Amino acid sequence: MSVHVPVLTAEIVGALQPGRGGLYVDCTVGLGGHARALLAGGAARLIGIDRDALALAQAGEALAEFGSRVELVHGDYRDVARLLDERGAGPIDGAVADLGVSSLQLGEGRGFSFQRDEALDMRMDTSQGPTAADLIGAAGERDLADVIYRYGEERRSRAIARAVVAARKAAPIRTTGQLAAIVRRAAGRRGRIDPATRTFQAIRIWVNRELEGIDTFVRDICARLRAGARFAVVTFHSLEDRPVKLAFRALASGPEPFRLLTKKSVVPGEDELCSNPRARSARLRAIERVE
């Protein structure tokens, strides 16, 4: 089983208050770290959703001790309204979503990382959709540059896209090593961060449509919260944090009874950063449906 350290766990448990019992939803259950903390903290029942079937299988092993208190569902968190309806779930007592990439996905064989040379896949749900290699092989140069700039905030996006298109004319780009080498040559070395970092982030977001429907998802979950229930979201970069922040603010300032629990995002403390450096980009926001 993959080693996994969930981020901001204490802060999530503190925000969601599972000690009150009831039904909780982990919209991106991953390897089950946050779900375990909620169940151990008193949640009576938990529905865990994930589009990564391999992660879901490992979550099942990690949460086996909780028996029938857990139901795991293979699906996309953006389909949460339908998935909960199919299970007859009424109002919920709390929910969490961690929008980051898991340690399992960053591990060997998934094509998310440029640290190893492997098949260029990057799909969180390997049962459907085109791979990163498929999209890179078919996209026009302008579209590819737009993706790299928009989702990676990469200033050298045009040069990188041009280099990718030139390289694929000679041979298909099928591995992470091939792509990383092309990007590094086109982008050049700048500081300590690998030049391929932003481009790999952009393509991962593109492959998995990570920024689509976040605001609708937030509203769908908030519509399910019973009075006093809370929703916590963890993000890892500004592109996904912004729609969460704006959706929360709109709900808190609208006619419905919502209250922001985090006027500013909560970040990991020094102790957590020392023990889990991957937490350094994590940001937590939370909202409550008031009584």
**Residue 106 belongs to a domain:** no
**Residue 47 belongs to a domain:** yes
**Residue 258 belongs to a domain:** yes
Q: Do 127 and 192 share a domain, yes or no?
A: yes
Name the maximum alpha-carbon separation found in the chain: 63
Q: What is the pLDDT of residue 190?
A: 75
Q: Do 92 and 121 share a domain, yes or no?
A: no
Q: Do 70 and 131 share a domain, yes or no?
A: no
**Does the pLDDT value for residue 163 go beyond 60?**
yes
> Taking residues 265-274, what's their average pLDDT?
94
> Taking residues 65-79, what's their average pLDDT?
97
| Count of domains for the chain | 2
Calculate what percentage of the chain has a pLDDT beyond 70.
98
Q: What is the pLDDT of residue 3?
A: 52
Q: What is the pLDDT of residue 73?
A: 98
Of 192, 208, 224, the last residue of a domain is: 208
Please, what is the average pLDDT of the chain?
A: 94
Q: Which residue has the tokens 């999530």?
A: 12
Q: What does the alpha-carbon distance between residue 48 and residue 198 come to, in Å, rounded to a whole number?
A: 30
* Segment 169-181, tens digit of pLDDT: 999 999 999 999 9
Domain of residue 262 covers 9-99+211-289
**Residue 182 belongs to a domain:** yes
Q: Do 161 and 198 share a domain, yes or no?
A: yes
The torsion angle over the Cα atoms of residues 177, 235, 71 and 39, rounded to 10 degrees, is 120
Of 178, 208, 238, the last residue of a domain is: 208
**Residue 3 belongs to a domain:** no
Cα 274–276–280 angle (5° rounding)? 85
What is the value of pTM for the model shown?
Answer: 0.92
> Taking residues 262-287, what's their average pLDDT?
93
Three-state SS at 266? strand
**Does the pLDDT value for residue 246 go beyond 80?**
yes
Q: Place 2 in a pLDDT band, splitting at 50, 70 and 90.
A: very low
The CATH number given to whatever domain includes residue 91 is 3.40.50.150
**How many CB atoms lie under 10 A from the CB of residue 200?**
23
- The pairing of strands 258-260 and 283-289 is antiparallel
The CATH number given to whatever domain includes residue 190 is 1.10.150.170
* Segment 101-119, tens digit of pLDDT: 877 777 768 899 998 999 9
Q: Do 76 and 217 share a domain, yes or no?
A: yes
**Does the pLDDT value for residue 1 go beyond 50?**
no
Q: Which residue has the tokens 């403390």?
A: 269
Q: What is the pLDDT of residue 230?
A: 98
Q: Do 277 and 138 share a domain, yes or no?
A: no
Q: Do 218 and 198 share a domain, yes or no?
A: no
Q: Do 27 and 65 share a domain, yes or no?
A: yes
**Residue 129 belongs to a domain:** yes
Helix (H) or strand (E) holding 80: helix 80-86
- The pairing of strands 258-260 and 225-235 is unpaired
Q: Do 125 and 266 share a domain, yes or no?
A: no
**Residue 1 belongs to a domain:** no
- Output the CA–CA distances (angstroms, integers) from residue 279 to 22, 33, 103, 192, 241, in the order listed: 29, 14, 11, 18, 15
> What is the CA 78 to chain-centroid distance, rounded?
11
**Residue 162 belongs to a domain:** yes
Q: What is the pLDDT of residue 4?
A: 64
Calculate what percentage of the chain has a pLDDT beyond 90.
88
Nearest CA-CA partner of 100 in 52, 61, 53: 52
Q: Do 88 and 215 share a domain, yes or no?
A: yes
Of 185, 208, 231, the last residue of a domain is: 208
> Taking residues 21-44, what's their average pLDDT?
97
Q: Do 193 and 132 share a domain, yes or no?
A: yes
Q: Do 197 and 259 share a domain, yes or no?
A: no
- Provide DSSP, 64-112: GGGGGGEEEEES-GGGHHHHHHHTT--SEEEEEEE-SPPHHHHSTTSS-
